[in-house]
């Protein structure tokens, strides 16, 4: 068994950043990654049209000014291959690969209370002993795979957007189905529509979307951003969502309709995802939200030629952005093509798969390829996949049986020295996740440094504090419209999943203040111990067994 300081699970953006930071502190660190290569979601989500919906300059690491200056983004919203190239560049530039063990899935982590150390075991039986277990497994990495009657009889290819195959998928002359109209389905639709003989998009819930307004990055823009990159980063850190947009402090209801439409029109052409920030109360007040929703509904409707299709595709019935909207490049326009068909699952649900395709309540569709763009077991799917056993044999799955419980999103009572990166209870998917990753890792690294400096071997969340934090997370969510509809924010994406609000909706800046206050008060809400709590019990156990 290899004895080290920290085992990090996952070699995506968060895992690499944690490795860089902890190694820089002199820690011996190993990253375990189940996939064949690094990159996390950006390795797996290689579907056609995949790109980031946060601007490239902001969806990148800020820890190295040299890296910032030398990397040249080619587009305002980077494609998946470009982001994966960036991740690989970072790994090479900072010599990270030597501590990453690929093709290695964590099976279990068991806390040794007497030693204050985790024993991590991989599915192939290798073991590591580490003081810290860092869960950097991503929030959207465990795919949700439907299991329709007859599915295994289908003779064509079934692919999930979130584990895209490494072989080339050809569409020319083929009949393709896409099931699901979240960001993944909406991004791939126009790209596949251009190539496939026929494309059928199966829609259950029509989704809001704002145009990406993507464009190549000019040399002039690149120089401008790089000349003042620190200011741009600070603006992101101090914005509510990490996107760098200055929040409009006005209410959507306090301005005349014509002025509001002018603001929305400008946001529509430039802001992408930031449209939701055009007025401060779009996600706080239903009447304010209605003004944005109506504007978007009109915009979407205006690009769909067929009135019947328009009725089905224009989103309604839930507030704009209460479920994650998409940022698209020609999704709705794709339905004007002769080779693209919409299958409305609310009207005609899928009854079964057949060897040749899919039978819905109204007809039989024949396909060569079926793509599930059905999303993920969000926030908790990947954290709960391995067996994580804390104090007294309690597993994290048992502890979270009624929903995730954390102190500030970073630690869990009963699971000492386990650090969670951008998991439930933190701004996570309600923020530019790159900003959240860096802020959380730096805070946790400071905690580790504090422990070293003060001869502390064990930190652990206090049960009272985590109860209060979960209540606060839910209280903040109740102030918003997020709880007014079903979504993966509140556990509704998986039948039987606890229905609690997962991310922290109080914003990145507010969250940072809370973390900093906690540190300033000697890590209030956490117990810091100079000797493991379980040491005495461990002594007794070893005495009894000798
Ligand atoms: O998944 P989703 P996604 N039968 O959960 C439908 C990020 N992301 O992969 O809404 C039929 O959003 C489901 O229908 P309904 C981003 O955070 C970012 O698209 O449950 N349909 C929905 O339409 C995003 O939010 C980028 O009624 C079924 C869809 O499948 C997150 O990843 C790009 C079904 C799932 O939508 C997830 O996006 C892509 C079933 N059995 C993704 N089950 C960027 O641009 C589910 N659906 C950075």
d(CA 388, CA 401) in angstroms, rounded, equals 13
pLDDT score, position 48 = 97
d(CA 286, CA 484) in angstroms, rounded, equals 10
* Closest ligand 1 atom to Cα of 181: 23
* Closest ligand 1 atom to Cα of 162: 9
d(CA 501, CA 482) in angstroms, rounded, equals 8
Tokens matching residue 470:
């979960």
The answer to whether residues 396 and 9 touch, using CB atoms and an 8 Å cutoff, is: no
Phi, psi (deg, nearest 5) at residue 266: -65, -40
Q: Find the 184 Cα to ligand 1 centroid distance in Å.
A: 6
Quick check: CB of 507 below 6 Å from ligand 1?
no
Rounded to an integer, what is the distance from CA 427 to the centroid of its chain? Answer: 10
* Residue 107 host element (H or E): strand 106-112
pLDDT score, position 540 = 47
pLDDT digit string, tens, across residues 50-97: 999 899 999 999 999 999 999 999 999 999 999 999 999 999 999 999
Q: What is 200-229 written as a DSSP string?
A: EEEESS---EEE----BPPHHHHHHHHHTH
Q: Find the 437 Cα to ligand 1 centroid distance in Å.
A: 22
Quick check: CB of 374 below 6 Å from ligand 1?
yes
pLDDT digit string, tens, across residues 392-422: 999 999 999 999 999 999 999 999 999 999 9
Q: Find the 90 Cα to ligand 1 centroid distance in Å.
A: 29
Nearest CA to ligand 1 atom 5: 375
Quick check: CB of 53 below 6 Å from ligand 1?
yes
Nearest CA to ligand 1 atom 41: 146
Quick check: CB of 113 below 6 Å from ligand 1?
no
Quick check: CB of 80 below 6 Å from ligand 1?
no
Q: Which of 180, 243, 313 to mutate to test the pocket of ligand 1 (most atoms within 8 A of CB)?
A: 180
Quick check: CB of 182 below 6 Å from ligand 1?
yes
**Strands 418-420 vs 127-135: parallel, antiparallel or unpaired:** parallel
| Res. 333: pLDDT tops 60 | yes
**DSSP assigned state of 513:** H
Q: Which of 54, 56, 182 to mutate to test the pocket of ligand 1 (most atoms within 8 A of CB)?
A: 182
| Res. 449: pLDDT tops 50 | yes
* Closest ligand 1 atom to Cα of 51: 45
* Closest ligand 1 atom to Cα of 374: 30
Quick check: CB of 181 below 6 Å from ligand 1?
yes
| Res. 214: pLDDT tops 80 | yes
Q: Find the 489 Cα to ligand 1 centroid distance in Å.
A: 12
Q: Find the 527 Cα to ligand 1 centroid distance in Å.
A: 39
* Closest ligand 1 atom to Cα of 186: 19
Q: Find the 49 Cα to ligand 1 centroid distance in Å.
A: 15
pLDDT score, position 243 = 87
Residue among 278, 241, 244 at smallest CA distance from 263? 278
Nearest CA to ligand 1 atom 24: 183
d(CA 305, CA 154) in angstroms, rounded, equals 34
Instruction: Give me the mean pLDDT over the 472-478 stretch.
Output: 96
Task: Band the pLDDT of 541: cuts 50, 70, 90.
Answer: very low
Please list, in sequence order, all residues whose beta carbon lies within 8 angstroms of the beta carbon of residue 500, skipping any fewer than 6 positions away: 402, 403, 404, 470, 474, 490, 491
pTM for this one?
0.95
Q: Find the 109 Cα to ligand 1 centroid distance in Å.
A: 30
d(CA 362, CA 375) in angstroms, rounded, equals 25
* Residue 310 host element (H or E): helix 307-313
pLDDT score, position 545 = 41
Quick check: CB of 187 below 6 Å from ligand 1?
yes
Q: How many CA atoms lie within 13 A of 229 on its CB side?
A: 19
d(CA 229, CA 65) in angstroms, rounded, equals 8
Q: Find the 350 Cα to ligand 1 centroid distance in Å.
A: 17
Nearest CA to ligand 1 atom 12: 182
pLDDT score, position 248 = 85
* Closest ligand 1 atom to Cα of 161: 9
Helix and strand numbers, DSSP H then E, in the chain: 16, 20
Quick check: CB of 179 below 6 Å from ligand 1?
yes
Angstrom distances, CA of residue 159 to CA of 37, 370, 372: 20, 6, 6
Task: Band the pLDDT of 376: cuts 50, 70, 90.
Answer: very high
Instruction: Give me the mean pLDDT over the 511-540 stretch.
Output: 89
Nearest CA to ligand 1 atom 43: 374
pLDDT score, position 542 = 42
Class of CATH domain 2-142+378-542: alpha beta
pLDDT score, position 487 = 96
Query: Residues of the chain with pLDDT > 70: what percent?
Result: 98
The average confidence (pLDDT) of the chain is 95
Quick check: CB of 143 below 6 Å from ligand 1?
no
pLDDT score, position 537 = 58
Q: Domain extents for the chain? A: 2-142+378-542, 151-221+236-372
Nearest CA to ligand 1 atom 25: 324
pLDDT score, position 543 = 40
pLDDT score, position 76 = 93
pLDDT score, position 194 = 98
| Res. 546: pLDDT tops 50 | no
Instruction: Give me the mean pLDDT over the 150-172 stretch.
Output: 97
Q: Find the 181 Cα to ligand 1 centroid distance in Å.
A: 6
pLDDT score, position 272 = 81
């Amino acid at each position: 068994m290899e004895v080290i300081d920290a085992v990090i699970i996952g070699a995506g953006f968060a895992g690499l950043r944690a490795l860089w930071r902890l190694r820089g502190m002199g820690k011996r660190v190993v990253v375990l990654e189940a996939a064949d290569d690094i990159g996390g979601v950006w390795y797996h989500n290689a579907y056609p049209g995949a790109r980031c919906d946060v601007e490239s300059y902001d969806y990148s690491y800020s820890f190295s000014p040299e890296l910032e200056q030398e990397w040249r983004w080619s587009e305002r919203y980077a494609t998946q291959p470009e982001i994966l190239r960036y991740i690989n560049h970072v790994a090479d530039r900072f010599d990270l690969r030597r501590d990453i063990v690929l093709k290695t899935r964590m099976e279990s982590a068991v806390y040794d209370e007497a030693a204050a150390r985790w024993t991590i075991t991989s599915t192939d039986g290798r073991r590591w002993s580490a003081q810290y277990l860092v869960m950097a497994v991503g929030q959207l990495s465990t795919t949700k795979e439907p299991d329709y009657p007859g599915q295994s009889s289908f003779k064509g290819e079934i692919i999930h957007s979130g584990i895209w195959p490494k072989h080339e998928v050809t569409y020319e002359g083929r009949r393709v189905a896409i099931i699901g109209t979240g960001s993944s389905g909406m991004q791939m639709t126009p790209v596949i529509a251009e190539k496939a003989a026929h494309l059928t998009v199966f829609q259950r819930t029509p989704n809001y979307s704002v145009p990406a307004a993507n464009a190549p990055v000019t040399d002039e823009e690149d120089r401008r951003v790089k000349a003042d990159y620190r200011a741009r980063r600070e603006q992101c850190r101090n914005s509510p969502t990490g996107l760098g947009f200055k929040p409009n402090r006005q209410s959507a209801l306090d301005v005349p309709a014509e002025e509001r439409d002018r603001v929305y029109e400008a946001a529509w052409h430039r802001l992408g995802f930031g449209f939701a920030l055009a007025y401060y109360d779009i996600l706080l007040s239903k009447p304010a939200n209605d003004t944005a929703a109506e504007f978007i509904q009109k915009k979407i409707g205006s690009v769909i030629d067929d009135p019947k299709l328009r009725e089905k595709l224009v989103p309604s019935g839930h507030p704009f952005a209460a479920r994650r909207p998409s940022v698209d490049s020609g999704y709705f326009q794709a339905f004007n093509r002769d080779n693209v068909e919409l299958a409305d699952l609310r009207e005609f649900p899928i009854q079964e798969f057949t060897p040749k395709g899919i039978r819905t309540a109204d007809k039989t569709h024949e396909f060569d390829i079926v793509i599930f763009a059905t999303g993920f077991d969000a926030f908790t799917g990947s954290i709960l996949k391995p067996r994580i056993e804390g104090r007294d044999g309690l597993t994290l799955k048992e502890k979270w049986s009624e929903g995730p419980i954390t102190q500030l999103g970073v630690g869990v009572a009963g699971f000492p020295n386990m650090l969670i990166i951008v998991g439930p209870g933190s701004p996570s998917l309600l923020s530019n996740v790159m900003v959240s990753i860096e802020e959380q890792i730096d805070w946790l690294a400071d905690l580790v440094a504090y422990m070293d400096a003060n001869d502390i071997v064990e930190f652990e969340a206090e049960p009272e504090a985590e109860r209060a934090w979960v209540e606060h997370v839910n209280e903040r969510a109740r102030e918003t419209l997020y709880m007014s509809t079903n979504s993966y924010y509140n556990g509704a994406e998986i039948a039987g999943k606890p229905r609690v609000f997962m991310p922290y909706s109080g914003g990145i800046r507010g969250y940072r203040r809370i973390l900093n206050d906690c540190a300033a008060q000697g890590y209030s809400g956490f117990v810091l111990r100079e000797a493991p709590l379980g040491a005495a019990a461990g002594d007794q156990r070893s005495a009894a067994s000798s």
